[in-house]
Amino acid sequence: MADTTFTDQNFEQDVLKNNLPVLVDFWAPWCAPCRIVSPIVEELAKEYEGKLKVGKLNVDENPENASKYGVMSIPSLIIFKNGHPIKTVIGAQGKENFKKAIDEALSA
């Protein structure tokens, strides 16, 4: 489920060392486009359950990893596989664009 919350403290263990690919939604509560994307991320978490771990990272509360991975605009969704970022989708987009990125990442 996308109610997983990633932080600077648990990022290495929960994202980088995860056996599954991980989609991280870099967001902030004040970001209107982030609120638009949030229900889509929830749907994707359900659709890809067992194939992809999905969670959110609040960039205001956890600036270290946002900075480390070059997040300059939010929402930014980054897919990590084997501890490395392999796909980034920036901005509010349709569900199909996110699914395309996820499918590409899972097949890579």
91 DSSP 8-state letter: S
Catalytic residue, chosen from 34, 40, 41, 78, is: 34
CA distances from 82 to 13, 48, 85 (A): 12, 17, 9
Q: Are 27 and 74 in contact (CB under 8 A)?
A: yes
Backbone angle region of 51, left / alpha / beta, with phi > 0 → left and psi within -120 to 50 → alpha: alpha
Q: Are 73 and 34 in contact (CB under 8 A)?
A: no
Residue 34 among the catalytic residues: yes
Catalytic residue, chosen from 31, 40, 66, 79, is: 31
Residues with a known catalytic role: 31, 34
